[in-house]
Structure 1
């Protein structure tokens, strides 16, 4: 199946959120390394392309709107029709499989137990999705097996050129990203305030990052008000945020896409985990061998440049949306995670440096 691949066109489909898109970059890097002259496109949902900014392995990015008119959707589908030779989808969804069917004659993707027989037939090579025991990076790389392509586990962060805000040049700083997308992954605001104050006692400048979403900016603004940390929320693109993080002394954040991005830059990355399964979704260390699993199911852990600080409890990780089973629920394991658990790791980093 690989004899005539060098002249082919590949499309990677990831119709999920920023963190999911970022974790497809090892798949893209593997294709680029194996066949540098092939053309590689990536299809993502509208608004997710910024996590791929500056990625040298990608020739084109296609943004698909969540919702649009039937006429615009038909034009989109017509524009995709067999533009590629191979379509690879790490997402197990009917939408991704259908777009793969439109885009290429050879289609590799995942199915699970509830995938309909019709949707399964949209793929020419179907693999069973593992949502429990295999990390997302090596899981995505399984799509290379039918093609005989060696895997490369490098997660490629976005970049806007490498510059950082002028007020931070020649200064040592830590980046704290306090706000996750979902409440059930959140840590109490007072804990973030205490953490920032303790870091500031070491004469380290603390920079707060976040999106321009009103709720997120309000939380970050309040932490900045109570600590005098530098609030850059809503002022940087995702790629510029990656450039900022890359030059930091260390990063602290919850279980969210920016934390995956921080880990990909190679700096020491501390992340707070509660309900989420770290085996599947722990940030990927930059030196990790993609043939090995970096994380265990339970317990605080360290691999490479990443520290997972996990809340405690007999149900951890429950794989649920918090204690009340919805996105706005609190998670007791995170609510009770002490600040000292994070400070102990920071102290270890300080001693090592």
Structure 2
């Protein structure tokens, strides 16, 4: 079993190691334990035999009680114990003490993961020191899989769009540039007016059309704040330009799968660092990305062409429009 219960990009960074595991041991049975928030990024992945979904208390629906959440977790642990796993791999580059506790409750023969305090591991476990060297999350996770005999070149990330993608009314004579305006961290945001000016400048080239992506939900939503208002405002600013929202029909239930499908239609993507960036990389899309105070070597777009912009101030808002325009043009001409 493999455990990765955090963000979308983090989970995608595990998929190369899972592919390599299956290449090494085609007959092995892989169970992946994820959370309800990130599960769609491994939907339809042929390398995974079974998906177990854990709902964090903060992600529960308002009508669902905490008691029910904990009851489901208890039943899941009993179910996982019955699987009698040979290994549980805690597939993260950092120390995950809670995941070690969860892994112990599942009673595998051995647990593999990063753990500085070795007192938390039994003799059959493989507890590695947390690495601080300049390497990517994908590489650090792959190092865990080496402990079970997985070696060789690290494969690309794996992600599978829907079979029936809504292609909307996209002009197939133009190259599509995806513009993602959303990011979880406020410090990672690029001003909305800058996105408009970027689109306006690039629109002077008649070969481009643009799809706008954003996190669904109102900015005032206490549980899942989104960028509905910003997406609508950007579309208004871009009146008479070849720009549309994806999905075109706005609604609160816009899904992660729709984001994946929409990004799969793009030829290039412009985005802040975050889940959409890693989704684009997994879809093998060339990327222009904006980084704030983030370790570039640890989180750059894996396995694709990219232009990465990071201001000296480490504030995304200080990245200039000219820098963004020039980076997109250079990426396209590469």
Quote the offset at 1:145 in angstroms.
2.0
Quote the offset at 1:146 in angstroms.
1.8
2:99 pairs with 1:85: no
Residue-by-residue CA offset, 1:182-239 (whole Å, 9 max, x unaligned): 1011111111111121122222211001232222111111111101321126665433
Looking at structure 2, the residues matched to 349 and 76 of structure 1 have their Cα atoms a distance apart, in angstroms, of 46
Match for residue 299 of structure 2 among 262, 281, 285: 281
Quote the offset at 1:122 in angstroms.
9.2
Quote the offset at 1:169 in angstroms.
6.0
Q: Which runs of 5+ in 2 are unaligned?
A: 58-65, 220-226
Q: Secondary structure at the match of 2:30?
A: strand
Looking at structure 1, the residues matched to 75 and 308 of structure 2 have their Cα atoms a distance apart, in angstroms, of 45
2:264 pairs with 1:262: no
Looking at structure 2, the residues matched to 339 and 143 of structure 1 have their Cα atoms a distance apart, in angstroms, of 41
Aligned to 2:47: 57
Aligned to 2:290: 272
2:202 pairs with 1:184: no
Aligned to 2:75: 75
After TM superposition, list the pairs within 5 Å mapping 1:334-349 onto structure 2: 334-349=316-331
Aligned to 2:61: none
2:95 pairs with 1:95: no
Q: Is the 8 A contact 2:177 2:267 kept in 1?
A: yes
TM-score w.r.t. length of structure 1: 0.80
Q: Mark the CA change 1:267 to 1:73 in structure 2 (over 3 Å): closer, same or farther.
A: closer
Residue-by-residue CA offset, 1:239-282 (whole Å, 9 max, x unaligned): 34333323322100001111011112122111001200111111
Q: Secondary structure at the match of 1:39?
A: coil
Root-mean-square deviation over aligned CA pairs: 2.1
Q: Secondary structure at the match of 2:88?
A: strand
Match for residue 168 of structure 1 among 150, 156, 170: 170
Match for residue 217 of structure 1 among 216, 228, 231: 228
Aligned to 2:63: none
Q: Mark the CA change 1:246 to 1:232 in structure 2 (over 3 Å): closer, same or farther.
A: closer
After TM superposition, list the pairs within 5 Å mapping 1:90-129 onto structure 2: 90-91=91-92, 92-103=95-106, 104-112=108-116, 115=117, 117=119, 119-121=120-122, 124-129=125-130
Looking at structure 1, the residues matched to 204 and 143 of structure 2 have their Cα atoms a distance apart, in angstroms, of 46
Quote the offset at 1:52 in angstroms.
0.8
Q: Mark the CA change 1:34 to 1:225 in structure 2 (over 3 Å): closer, same or farther.
A: same
Q: Which runs of 5+ in 1 are unaligned?
A: 1-10, 287-304, 317-332
After TM superposition, list the pairs within 5 Å mapping 1:307-318 onto structure 2: 307-313=307-313, 316=314
Q: Secondary structure at the match of 1:81?
A: helix
2:246 pairs with 1:232: yes
Aligned to 1:299: none
Looking at structure 2, the residues matched to 16 and 232 of structure 1 have their Cα atoms a distance apart, in angstroms, of 25
TM-score w.r.t. length of structure 2: 0.84
Quote the offset at 1:174 in angstroms.
0.8
Match for residue 44 of structure 1 among 34, 56, 59: 34
Q: Mark the CA change 1:208 to 1:266 in structure 2 (over 3 Å): closer, same or farther.
A: same
